[in-house]
Amino acid sequence: MKERLARLGLHLRAPDARPIGVVQAEIDEELAFHLDASARELVRAGAEPKEAACEARRRFGDLADIRRACRRQKLGERIVIQRIQMVLILLLVLSVGVLAQQWSSTSRQQQDAIHALRNHVAELSRGTGGLAQAAPTGPVEHVIYAVGDRLRIANVTGNHEPNVHATVARDGKILLPEIGWVDIAGKAREDVEGLLTKTYLQYYEHADIKIVLEGSQAVATPPIEHVFYGVGDRLKVVNVASTAGPDVLLTVAADGKVLLPDVGWIDVAGETREAVEALLTERYEPYYEDVDIKVVLDRSPRAQGRGLAGPVEHIVYAVGDRLLVANVAGGSEPAAQPTVARDGKILLPELGWVHVAGETREDAEALLTKSYRPFYTDVDIKIVLAGSRAGAPAPVAHIVYSVGDRLKVTNVKHRGGPQAVQTVARDGKILLPELGWVHVAGETREDVEALLTKSYEPFYTDIDIKIVSM
């Protein structure tokens, strides 16, 4: 083999720097030239051309083996260098990866340390009433309570009741079990503990009330004479005279009302806490033997500098509104959380699509109550506006599906049947169980629902397909 390569002159050449394809083509050309020359010599000696070509190839030896040898001879050093380069690059990449991981780990540790430090500072700020008071010159003579203070009130003797958490309301009062609202703003801890101990001795054989200040506002505001409720306020309504009765958390709606179990909508915006508590106690007396309703202002947008507009006369529903629809008479169904679709309708159990956009809450509730009476014995439908869109568009006459729409397809008559969420593909079709691909793009919701209901009738006994745009 070496002698044959020597005759070709390949062993004297330095590693070739040209592209591999060019080098391979040159090797094939040289091998073909030598085979052709050997065949011509045999023809001149009297052999037939085909026999001469076969004999020349046989004498030449394994052509593939010779081709590989020539390639190694021409590119051998170059391939070794490339492999060395590849190994070095791989080592460099691994080194960079290790360094990046170490840097990332160090960065995460630094971020965690910063986060922990911030949390610690925040805890100090909450517990001491702000950084301005984080390092007082010395202990104060008395702890004086203020609006916004978060307290833990506990009986440290006897049966350890009460044991509650309370926040000083805007009128300087806290709500406590058995005794109701107690004014403490501006009073010293010792005085409040003495007052509460004396008061609770009427309820418990042993009482020694202690109060722990768990947190306070950075800047305490002076107490106001009365707490007034407004739109957006979140209220906790509870019966403190018994475990029976309301114990709910709700938000004052845009028309200034709150929805309460048993008694329905009650107007509270602009009313004082005392007036609202008296009204609710009176309303609940026919339902419970022991009633003393208290209302705690849990959160207010006004306290966060986000004052809302005054109450409107009527709540009118619009496209995109998220609603909570419930039967408050007996707690039976229906209970649904629909969103007003683009055509102004909501999808409800038993009823199907119902138009509500542009209707007032009172009219929509009356319509649904009447519509549900054939289905339930006791019906009193109430609707809570859980959320709405800014700048809601006007409802369209018909919803027409298009490519990219995300649709929820469901059988509202029975638990069986299709329950699928599909996106309209680029060819305008959706893929459904049993049916396969169905074209919906450019079709109205009513037409598609009718088509699918008819298509599913051979598969299910009770079928009424409805489609909700997601």
Q: Please name each of the domains of the chain with its CATH number.
A: 1-128 (no CATH), 150-215 (3.30.1950.10), 234-304 (3.30.1950.10), 322-387 (3.30.1950.10), 406-469 (3.30.1950.10)
pLDDT > 90? residue 147: no
pLDDT digit string, tens, across residues 43-90: 888 888 888 788 877 877 777 777 777 766 665 555 555 666 666 677
Q: Which residue has the higher pLDDT, 134 or 303?
A: 303
Given the structure tokens 């190694």, which residue do they identify? 72
Mean pLDDT value across residues 185-195:
89
Q: How far apart are CA 398 and CA 339, in angstroms?
A: 16
Cα–Cα distance for residue pair 78/80, rounded to 1 Å: 5
Q: DSSP letter at 310?
A: P
How much is the pLDDT for 87?
A: 63
The stretch 201-219 carries a mean pLDDT of 83
Asked if residue 9 has pLDDT above 70, the reply is: no
pLDDT category, 95, cuts 50, 70, 90? low
> What is the pLDDT averaged over residues 257-275?
86
Q: Which residues contact 67 (CB under 8 A, 6 or more apart)?
A: 27, 28, 31
Note the pLDDT of residue 404: 93
389 Cβ contact partners less than 8 Å away, ≥ 6 residues apart: 318, 319, 320, 321
Average pLDDT over the chain, rounded to whole?
Answer: 79
Pairwise pLDDT comparison (141 vs 153), residue with the higher score: 153
What percent of the chain has pLDDT above 70?
Answer: 77
Give 154's contacts (C-beta < 8 A, 6+ positions apart): 160, 162, 163, 164, 209, 210, 211, 212
Q: By the 8 A CB rule, do 280 and 260 touch?
A: yes
Contact criterion met (CB below 8 Å) for 143 and 192? no
Rg (the chain; Cα; Å): 42
Enumerate residues 6+ apart whose C-beta is below 8 A from 393: 319, 320, 342
Percent of the chain whose pLDDT exceeds 90: 8
What's residue 405's pLDDT? Answer: 92
- Show Cβ contacts of residue 11 under 8 Å, excluding neighbours closer than 6 positions: 2, 5, 73
Name the most confidently modeled range: 6-10, 102-106, 420-424.
420-424
Which residue do the tokens 């592209």 mark?
19
Residues 395 and 413: beta-carbon distance below 8 Å: no
Q: Record the tokens describing residue 403, joined without a space.
A: 């490519």
Cα diameter, the chain: 137
Residue bearing the bigger pLDDT, 136 or 244: 244
Q: What integer pLDDT is reported at residue 252 of this predicted model?
A: 87
Among the listed ranges 93-102, 318-327, 438-447, which one has the minimum average pLDDT value?
A: 93-102
Read off the pLDDT band of 12 (50, 70, 90): very low
Model pLDDT, residue 118: 53
What per-residue confidence (pLDDT) applies to 85? 64
Mean pLDDT of 196-217: 86
Which tokens is 126 given?
A: 């909450």
What does the DSSP 8-state code read for residue 396? P
